[in-house]
Amino acid sequence: MTRRTWALAQLNEKHGYLAGNYAPVEEETPLTPCMVVSGSIPNELAGGQYVRNGGNPMANDDAGRESHWFDGDGMLSGVLFQRRANGSIAPHFVNRYVVTDILLATRQGAHRPILPSIATLSSPSVSLLRVLYEVMRSLVLCLLTWIPLTWSIGLGKGTRRLSKISVANTNIFYHDGKALAACESGPPMRIMLPKLETGGWWTGDEGKSWASGIGPLKIFNEMTTAHPHTDTSTNELLLYHSTFVAPYLRISVIPPRSSRRSALIGATVPGMKEGKLMHDFAATKTRTVVMDLPLTLDPRNLLSGKPVVHYEPTAAVRFGVFPRREPEKVRWYEDPTACCIYHTANCWDESQAETSQSGSSEDAVNFLACRLNSATLIYSAGNTLAPTTAKAPNGEEERCELHYWRFAEPPKATELLPPLDSTALEKAPKAQHDSPARITHSFPLSRVPFEFPTINLAHAPAAGLGPNRFVYGCSMREGTFDAGMGRHSAKIDCLVKMDVQSLVKRGRARADAGKMKKGEAVDMRSMPEIIASAEHAQDGAVQGDITVFPLPHGWYAQETTFIPRSNPQGEDDGFLLFFCFDELTHLHPATGEPLPSAVSQLWVLDARDMKTVVARIELPARVPYGLHGKWFTEAEIDGQERVDEQSIRRWALRDVQKSDRRSKEERIKREGKLNVLNALRRWVELWA
């Protein structure tokens, strides 16, 4: 028995992220009317569109292949709130694949994806030969698309060559008249709202491209974060580019075309020694925060018998802080305890004037992120047994918590010395130009599981890059985002609202007084305790710093997006939009698989009271549990930059052939006149 067979036998069940409502859908849906089953649609949604991205593997016939939740071709699912002449709002659902090079190359009946799975690259049970085989298979399939004699079965007209390896399955965002779908393995892809058509790759505007170079070098330079940030005061787009090739980490700052500001393109962040798996970063009005986590992404790991994606439990976590346009001035802050961070929540500056009242005098950056005390997620999301080294240390429980760090800047030399004519000069401490960067505070805000954070990006003074009072996130009644994955997969049945400024203030006061133990949370209550306290509270009673919306039994949610009211009376005066699925109704009771009639809903929740479901909209299709989404306003949809009709990538899902191995063999025999290269490509698709 091979190591891989043994590992699969240990799980002894179907891949948790290809089953139930994680299973991919097999149909695209054009804009189709939806039914409002309860409540009414707020006027704030009129003319806008909510769109969510996620992996939906096209080549899914081989159920025994390695697969990971982060794999899969990007599929966008959206709800457009059309205005009617009579003033009413008509919701319409649409879902479409992001038509990437990979999707076009895969669609001719291949029974498994072109690219190797993250599960293959991360599992310690997969042999070196297997990894090399998967990589070589992908290279052969990619190279064959560059040979004209293979185009009869390759990519469509105008996009014959597979030049980008991104599947654009992680997120969707907006910049300067463009909606863009993205994942880390390539550049963003233009998406045309509201029909969700694919408009072509985007690597920056003319003279502002970060994707220089040729061949493989260009592919590495094109890699771009799927979690950019926007400074709404300048409309600058903040990006980073992380690869496993030196210099490993670069950043870009791209202003809108109407701005006179210059672009910063692909500037190196010094201090990285190897490729790391960094999924997100953070920014304030003046500074940027990047992360050097102990989760490596480096093919050279294979030379030492480790997987390409490997967790180092004894390595420290480093945070790099630098002025937005000066990455060469990066200052690294070290946290000795290993962890994983996939999503940041909020980040803001703190000036000397603000800190002097508390007795200190220093500039600082405050940082909130979802901290996992293990790397189990990477393995369990691939249906792979996590090695002991990837689990929580010292027998601790697996945790995913909203965590706070404070990065203090070292004092400047001139700040430590009294005036030259002062008699205190001789007694003054000598200036230390190389004073170490200090993390003055580090603690979790709560013990409840917390992931997929979202904030009110429109709230002033935050405006997307400042201190928000409230952070919303996803949670669960039992388990956590690490321990709950793998065999049973993670399912979100609670939404959480935290008053983070209050929790941070409480935590800092306790820490400064020496009353907080290492690892202790500001609020130590469990999820059941918080829910119970809310149930016993009288109407109108203050709920404290943490409010929970538990979904009805059997219902599960996805990431939320905040939409403010037209005339908000506070930061939390708005709505949360999210997709929901009723597993008790729409999954087969025996197999757990989706019924043919399975559909999802879009819920609109009052973000202030976290209890009132303002509207429930039934969709004409099922939306698998996915990743990240965004709300696009009517003005953004109307203000999109036009795309030449010839540039829109078109394909027909109904043309995809999902035939079995025998039919593929017969097809090859019928096409006996195929040249040798065509036959080679078909053989690789068939047997690899």
Binding-site residue numbers for Fe cation are: 227, 279, 343, 628
Beta pairing, strands 74-83 & 49-55: antiparallel
Rounded CA separation 191/185 (Å): 18
Nearest-CA neighbor of 486 among 595, 583, 402, 391?
Answer: 391
Q: Is the link from the previous residue into 393 a cis peptide, with omega within 30 of 0?
A: no
Nearest-CA neighbor of 545 among 569, 564, 517, 572?
Answer: 572
Nearest-CA neighbor of 355 among 368, 366, 346, 364?
Answer: 364
Contacts of 192 (CB under 8 A, 6+ apart): 179, 198, 199, 640, 643, 648
Contacts of 386 (CB under 8 A, 6+ apart): 374, 375, 376, 378, 379, 380, 486
Nearest-CA neighbor of 344 among 519, 471, 526?
Answer: 471
Residue carrying the six token digits 């394909």: 651
Which tokens hold the place of 26? 């097999």
Residue 199 DSSP label? E
Taking a C-beta distance cutoff of 8 angstroms, is the pair 24, 72 a contact?
yes
Q: Which residues are annotated as a binding site?
A: 227, 279, 343, 628
Helical H segments across 455-499, by residue range: none
Which tokens hold the place of 266? 């692909």
Rounded CA separation 143/147 (Å): 7
Residue carrying the six token digits 């959480």: 496
Nearest-CA neighbor of 613 among 37, 50, 46, 91?
Answer: 37
Which tokens hold the place of 651? 């394909």
Residues 128-151, buried b or exposed e (16+ Cβ, 10 A)?
Answer: eebbeebbebbeebbebbebeebb
Q: How far is CA 503 from CA 66, 67, 311, 521, in A?
A: 42, 39, 31, 10
Interhelix angle for 128-144 vs 676-687, to 10°?
140
Rounded CA separation 45/566 (Å): 10
Which amino acid belongs to residue 112? R
Beta pairing, strands 470-475 & 629-632: unpaired
Other C-beta atoms within 10 Å of 451: how many? 24
Three-class SS of residue 583? helix
Taking a C-beta distance cutoff of 8 angstroms, is the pair 457, 475 a contact?
no
User: Is 389 exposed, middle or buried, given 0-12, 13-18 or 19+ CB atoms closer than 10 A?
Assistant: middle
Contacts of 234 (CB under 8 A, 6+ apart): 255, 259, 261
Q: How far is CA 101 from CA 165, 243, 433, 454, 647, in A?
A: 7, 20, 51, 31, 14
The residues pairing with 242 across neighbouring beta strands, listed in sequence order, are 249
Other C-beta atoms within 10 Å of 596: how many? 8
Which tokens hold the place of 335? 């946290």
Other C-beta atoms within 10 Å of 454: how many? 24
Which amino acid belongs to residue 388? T
Other C-beta atoms within 10 Å of 521: how many? 19
Taking a C-beta distance cutoff of 8 angstroms, is the pair 496, 547 a contact?
yes
